[in-house]
Amino acid sequence: MADPRSRAVYVISVAAELAGVHPQTLRIYERKGLLDPARTAGGNRRYSDTDLDRLRRNAGTAATSCPCRSRSPCSVGGRRSSTSSSPLSSVSRLFDDL
């Protein structure tokens, strides 16, 4: 029998609320290939508990990747970083590590 946590049951609005992100964020993650939600016969997205766990884990890591959490350039570990890289780039790297 399949893992019940992998059963895709949440519509996008519910999944976004449970994960603490905006529904558009889930759509962007899907377009970038970071998520692959199940689809109903009508084409509606459905998310599983496993999808939500992954989102929560990586969203928290992305939000704290810079200790100062500012939008201005910061220095982390002696290296200067700028905000010219997309926030999705850091999230994408986090998903790649899974």
Q: According to the model, what pLDDT value does residue 3 have?
A: 80
Q: According to the model, what pLDDT value does residue 25 have?
A: 92
How far apart are alpha carbons 22 and 89 in whole angstroms?
A: 18
In eight-state DSSP terms, residue 51 is H
Residue by residue, pLDDT tens for the chain (98 residues) are 678 778 889 999 999 998 888 999 999 999 988 888 999 999 999 999 998 888 877 765 555 545 444 444 544 444 444 444 555 666 666 666 55
Domain CATH code at residue 67? 1.10.1660.10
How far apart are alpha carbons 53 and 26 in whole angstroms?
A: 13
* Predicted model pTM: 0.58
How far apart are alpha carbons 36 and 46 in whole angstroms?
A: 10
Domain count, the chain: 1
Q: According to the model, what pLDDT value does residue 62 have?
A: 54
Q: According to the model, what pLDDT value does residue 41 have?
A: 95
Q: Which domain holds residue 73?
A: 4-96
